[in-house]
Amino acid sequence: MRIEEFNALPDDDVAAALRACVGIDSWVHLLAVGRPYDDAAQVLRTAGAQATSWTPAEVEGALADHPRIGERPTGSGTAADHSRREQGGVDPANTALADRLRAGNQAYEERFGRIYLVRAKGRSGDELVALLEERLGNDPDTELAVTREQLAEIALLRLTDLLTGGGGSATVTA
């Protein structure tokens, strides 16, 4: 969608579009009320800057919209569609990988009390498992910070797709 279209969306429609990027109300609200923007890069800069202030509770709440790595979302809607595309590097026919992901997800949830979240877009299944296994060694505070960073990367990639029609021509920084 062009920036002019984004700026002209009714409040409820822009909120729904932004919420599909990440389910954090403060972020959605700030970006919605900040309109009009001059260009997509300005929206992305604002979004990236605001993401640095997400609280642990906001991060934890936003995880509810994300399936486990290696599992396909069962819901419908834009957020589920994003997840399906983002996890395209995970081959569902690779049973060895699926077993490693299942075991890693379980160990992660037992250790940290939440799902393992990682930016999957552009990464292979093997990369996702390696990152999972590496992150199991983090202390809880470090891992929460890494989770926030990964959530911000996902949100900004989704926002870029929204603003560029999936072409990714705007700059994304988290």
Residue 93: its pLDDT value, please? 75
CB–CB of 142/90 below 8 Å? no
Residue 30 pLDDT greater than 90, yes or no: yes
168 pLDDT tier (thresholds 50, 70, 90): very low
More confident residue, 81 or 158: 158
User: What's the pLDDT tens digit per position in 130-144?
Assistant: 999 999 999 999 999
Mean pLDDT of the chain: 87
Looking at the structure, give the CATH architecture of the domain made up of residues 3-164. Answer: Orthogonal Bundle (1.10)
Residue 156 pLDDT greater than 50, yes or no: yes
Residue 165: its pLDDT value, please? 82
In this prediction the pTM is 0.83
User: What's the pLDDT tens digit per position in 76-134?
Assistant: 555 545 544 555 456 667 889 889 999 999 999 999 999 999 998 888 889 999 999 99
CB–CB of 69/118 below 8 Å? yes
Report domain extents, the chain.
Answer: 3-164
128 CB-near residues (< 8 Å, 6+ apart): 69, 70, 89, 90, 101, 118, 120
153 pLDDT tier (thresholds 50, 70, 90): very high
**Residue percentage of the chain with pLDDT more than 90:** 68
CB–CB of 115/147 below 8 Å? no
124 CB-near residues (< 8 Å, 6+ apart): 89
